[in-house]
Amino acid sequence: KPKVTQPASNNQISPLLKPSSKPSFPNLAAAAAPVGPCSVAPPLPTSPSEPEAKPPLPSPLALIAPTPFLLPTPTMAASQSSIAMVPSRCTAETHTARGKVAFEIAGYSRLKGLGRGKCLRSSAFSIGGYEWCIRYYPDGCQGEAGDGYVSVFVVLLTKNAEVRALNNWMLVNGVSGQSIVVLSGKAPRVFDRKMPAWGVPKFMKTTAEVESVYLQNDRLLIECEVNVIKESLDILVPPSDILDNLATLLEGKIGADVTFKVQGEVFSAHKILLAMRSAVFNAEFYGPMGDKGAQDIVIDDMQPAVFKAFLYFIYTDSMPSMDDLEDDDKREMVKHLLVAADKYVMERMKRICEGMLCRVLDVETLGTMLALADQYHCSNLKDACVEFMLSSDRMDDVIASQGYLQLKRSSPDIIVEVLERAAKSRRI
């Protein structure tokens, strides 16, 4: 049994590493053909230790009417309920495209004497989106660096490309079939038009002792692993401005094809957008029973300020800012917007209004809130009212309030329901 030695006793070749199992790779030998002297001389190492070369509506409540007043117009700016617009960043990442090929040199001994600087070239292969090939120099590459050695280089074939890649080179033991690492690249090299080839001038020493280990039936099997390093760009993507654009569309009236007359004020809008957001508008404008030619619509059950806020939500999917309204005015505005959302079947808007009202419950308005919740089927608001009433320090105050007394006279069934739910809650 021959003694296994390193392919070369020269410090230009890295020490042998632990053998790995021989994988199955495409064989490039069939496409190998001898070529003349290389038109681009492979780069040589700069030092002996370097193995590679460098490179409101009047009140909507039928049961309890709130005190009549004129709602002030809220500021049409997105409220805190709007989704925060945060710039998106495309994170910079580095990823590697890895590929390995096997290049079989058939008739190894017959290629000796081909001449220094003359090579066999493998067929082209693709790794990382680039075309490559391997050059095999049986008598070494040009210059004295490869004298007495087989030289190998990997060449970038893709034109006008600049690629960062890291290469590993292996020889396959002709007896065991195991891959022996000859060179494991430590740092990536840049392949470009000026320097398209990187490799190992002193890849395998051409001595009988070394050849006996790696040749099998006068065949030499070389493996090359190419790791193409790609870096994605770090691009700051601006936040979406579609909601701002839609708000501008509402205010600018560009392309508007329908007008609403609300108590003397005129609002312009776009049928297709209204129909997209509300099933009621869709049926009115495009349904079989609707008036497709309608251009002027009168709204007589909503104040202008409420309708304006309602349109703002339709266009931007967010509530307008109400910071300039007093607390009572804000509460009334939200109540009327809830009624509008129910009328035009806008469930998301209705739920938002319901949640806002749940946060502003008080003793004096609880009766009105209960009536509103019952009339418009707001189960969450009704649950919040019951929980508020069951508070030990509030029950007496609620019962004594004017709103509760009105509710008791006009809708006793609601009071009965509340008492039943309260009793169940205590049993639980």
Span 401-427, pLDDT tens digits: 777 777 777 767 777 677 676 666 665
Per the structure block, which two tokens stand in for 173? 């033991």
Query: Cα(29)–Cα(107) distance, rounded to whole angstroms?
Result: 10
Per the structure block, which two tokens stand in for 357? 């009202």
Tell which residue, 211, 229, 216, has the closest CA to residue 165: 229
Provide DSSP, 326-386: -HHHHHHHHHHHHHHHHHTT-HHHHHHHHHHHHTT--TTTHHHHHHHHHHTT-HHHHHHHH
Asked if the model's pLDDT at residue 325 lies above 80, the reply is yes
**What is the structure's pLDDT at 49?**
37
For residues 146-179, one letter each, b for 16 or more C-beta atoms within 10 angstroms of the residue's C-beta and e for the rest, the string is: beebbbbbbbbebeeeebbbbbbbbbbbbeeeeb
258-262 β-sheet, strand order:
265-269, 258-262, 296-299
Asked if the model's pLDDT at residue 273 lies above 70, the reply is yes
Mean pLDDT for 15-34 is 36
**What is the structure's pLDDT at 265?**
95
Query: Cα(346)–Cα(340) distance, rounded to whole angstroms?
Result: 8
User: Between 294 and 130, where is the model more confident?
Assistant: 130
pLDDT band at 127 (very low <50, low <70, confident <90, very high): very high
Domains of the chain, with CATH numbers? 96-229 (2.60.210.10)
- Cβ-contact 333, 319 below 8 angstroms: no
Asked if the model's pLDDT at residue 395 lies above 50, the reply is yes
Provide DSSP, 96-130: EEEEEEEEEEESHHHHTTS-TTEEEEPPPEEETTE
Mean residue pLDDT of the chain comes to: 78
- Cβ-contact 152, 169 below 8 angstroms: yes
Q: Which residues contact 356 (CB under 8 A, 6 or more apart)?
A: 319, 334
Provide DSSP, 154-191: EEE-STT--EEEEEEEEEE-TTT--EEEEEE-SS-EEE
pTM of the model: 0.54
- Cβ-contact 36, 117 below 8 angstroms: no
- Look-up: residue for tokens 């430590």? 186
- Look-up: residue for tokens 């910071």? 323
Span 3-20, pLDDT tens digits: 333 333 333 333 222 333
- Cβ-contact 222, 103 below 8 angstroms: yes
Query: Cα(259)–Cα(270) distance, rounded to whole angstroms?
Result: 9
Asked if the model's pLDDT at residue 376 lies above 80, the reply is yes
| Percentages of the chain per state (helix, strand, coil), in multiples of 5 | 30, 25, 40
User: Between 339 and 176, where is the model more confident?
Assistant: 339
Span 132-178, pLDDT tens digits: 999 999 999 877 666 789 999 999 999 999 999 999 999 998 888 88
pLDDT band at 319 (very low <50, low <70, confident <90, very high): very high
Q: Tell me the CA end-to-end span of the chain in Å, nearest whole number.
A: 87
Lowest mean pLDDT among 79-93, 143-157, 240-254: 79-93
**What is the structure's pLDDT at 367?**
82
Span 35-85, pLDDT tens digits: 333 333 344 333 333 344 433 333 333 333 333 345 566 555 544 333 344
Provide DSSP, 289-333: TS-TT--EEEE-SS-HHHHHHHHHHHHHSSPEE-TTS-HHHHHHH
Asked if the model's pLDDT at residue 1 lies above 80, the reply is no
User: Between 121 and 401, where is the model more confident?
Assistant: 121
